[in-house]
Structure 1
Amino acid sequence: MTLPVARRIRWLPSQWPADAAGRRNMALLVQLRWIAIAGQLVTILIVHHGMDIHLPLTSMLVVPCIAALMNIGSLMVLRRRADITHAELFLALLFDVLALTTQLYLSGGATNPFLSLYLVQVALGAVLLHRWSVWGIVAASSLCAAMLSFAYRPLDLSDRLEGHLFDLHIIGTWICLVMIAVLVVLFMTQMTRNLQQRDSYLARLRQQAVEEEHIVRMGLLASGAAHELGTPLAQLAVVLGDWRHMPQIRQDPALVEEVEEMEAAVRRCKSILTGILMSAGEARGEAPQATDVRSFIESIARDWRAAVPGMPLRSDFGPHDYPRIVADPVIRQAVTNLLDNAREAGATYVNMMVSRDSQWLHIAVRDNGRGFSPEMLADFGKPYRSSKGRQGGGLGLFLVVNVVRKLGGRVDASNGADGGAMVLLRLPFATLALDEDRHDD
């Protein structure tokens, strides 16, 4: 059974893009609105019943109810979406400005000491919004505050409070100042952290774009070299075939053995070139095969043992049932690169350990070589970082990391406690397993 080379990558929920600062900031605005709703209810009840200041309770309680409905709608949106747009954040802040304006209008207008709460909305807008949107929040807050200076419902004060109005205003101003300070520190600190995480994510994306451009250039060079090397290798195969039929060579067992070794080397080179062309999507008449994990790994180990005779390689499989997968040539090449890297690092034996969990296939390559230096571990997967001191080294691990990353997986490297190194590939079944096996899992 053959499958087309081009396959659509399916992402797991845990692999969704990390650029969700807007979503996290909207969640913080929802939290802030819940705090505002609770604060309004407590303040209204204390002022109306405890301080004997008669407020329009029905009208003032409608605003927290509308804000609660707004929060419920926002939470429903947050559950369905991975990110929130800039316009939605702007409208959410504008709603809070209008809700605050309504409450101030019903409770004394500009004479209310809580007028300064407009500054919280302006400060949040300065962190979350673009320049034009921030000035929109500033303009809306300024216009609402100006309107409240002449259009508002006066407070209905009892006779015993008439002489203490200024004292009440001072106390309310102090409470408002403390609220602003606490809210700004708590929420703006978290929002700034969200924005920093977004900037870090964008920086990683830019770095990945640079690395992938580097891979594209290398792929073009490799593909071109593979095409150019095909002709001389074919000529070598023809010449070696002719040599095997020459009487003077057939009569010498040593020469026959050497010719056979050269033919094996030519076949190995042709196999490598075929793999390069398949990875580039240029192979004709060949496609990734549907197979099981054990057969796929054992075929990699068998081919590597044939290419590197004398190097012990053991394949260990955990006690699991493995689904059928698409045997992508790039995965074969990635694992082969790790085996070659272990041999070149001075290892005298290599272990390939395979296991799985509900979502991931784990392939670990463990050796007893000299291991990774601390600098190599810190720069693992970056191009031209190699412990072999060879010009152009380090590209093998660089390609492994990027191939696995493109498949939605990850690569981890570490040193063993008793020496040697281990590189662990984590590949998601969401991109490897066939549809029928994926549903079974």
Structure 2
Amino acid sequence: MFETKDDLIPVERRSDWVRLRTLVAVRWIAIFGQIASILVAIFLFNLHLEIGFFAIVIGASVILNIVASFVYPENTRLSERGATLMLLFDITQLSALLYFSGGLTNPFSVLILAPVSISASALRPKSSIFNGAVAITFVTLLALFHVPLHMADGAELIIPDIFLFGNWAAIVIGVLFLGVFSWRVTSEIHTMSQALLATQMALTREQKLTDIGGVVAAAAHELGTPLATIKLVSSELVDDLKDHDLLREDAQLINEQADRCRDILHSMGQAGKDDLHMRFAPLQAVIEEAAQPHTSRGKTVNLEVLGSEDGSEQPYVYRRPEIIHGMRNLIQNAVDFCETTVWVDILWSKRRITLRIIDDGAGFPPSVIGRIGDPFMRHRRSEKEVEKRPGYKGMGLGLFIAKTLLERTGAEMSFANGSDRHDMHLHAGRRSGAIVELSWRRDLIGVPEGEQNKALGENTPLKA
């Protein structure tokens, strides 16, 4: 994102582009390929390999994949550090395999370029340079130290030193070239995407300003005649009431206020005004604003202020559109699927702000709970769900938009069910359905203490 003075979140987190599930799937392919290569080398080419060492190295990859698959949700996106460590493991694992199978004499040594290219595409330059340097270091060590390949009869496979040096040079150059090339192309694509987004936002803002200007111009046109009449009549009264001081002062005040109305309309017509009082509000007020469109849909939406965990006062938070729109989508989803009631719990401390949205419905389907937040997500709907929401296609766009917007403000989100989806004791009015918990660091969305009571000054013209 383009960094601005008012931004509260880091500008860019490129590692968020990579899903853990993607790296796990690629690693499974690599594992099967490594096993197949070893079997072919042993049974087809009669090479003598130490199977025990290969089993340990490949087994480490299998264990890591199993842990990653069962511990983390399917839609987990890696942090910068997490992605760096995952790719560093792949470089280390492949280097260990090459060490026991001839080093750079092994034609599969070129595969070390794969994690380096992914790193350059998905991570920041600092992490990419680190992974590239580690890869070059391992390649250099493999050129000097490795277990030679032997045939079944004990004969050692040896290639001339010039070819060994050529393999080393080719891989090092490949690491540098592919790393720089991948980083450059990905950065240009990302920059263009952000530029298009900024253009769209600018056009949207301009359209809003145009609409505001049109309304103000229409208001000024409609009010122009009555204001002119008031101005004319009040001026005549000022002249006619020279001998009545009190009445003359009243007429003069009317005349001055007519001029003031004219000046206000003129200033609004130029660019509009930014109402500083609308920049932040108490946390409860912001949540009420987000929930308001869904409080009259036949379901009960209870906002429960659980209070502070450490005695601190209710925070004022910035009225960021991402928070309001994201919360509104989550509450809408809860209202859509609840039986009768939705609860929004509000609690805070000096360090964190936490919200929980709970309903008394059936909860999230087990088949999709790990993929909540992915767009265009579908699942087979029961007859009861079809009857309850006949026009709903269930593609997950609403939750995707809400998750994206809220995480952009720094929110940490988790999804769970209050009880088993097939619990036969579910009933209306019980907190047994879906649970969405959001948590922010207070300094990310909260107004600093004392700022909410500080004088704001005059409203300033909107900037296009």
Bin for the TM-score computed over the shorter chain: 0.3 to 0.5
Query: What TM-score do the two structures reach when normalised by structure 2?
Result: 0.37
Q: TM-score, normalised to structure 1's length? A: 0.39
Larger Rg: 1
Which structure shows the bigger proportion of residues in helix conformation?
A: 1
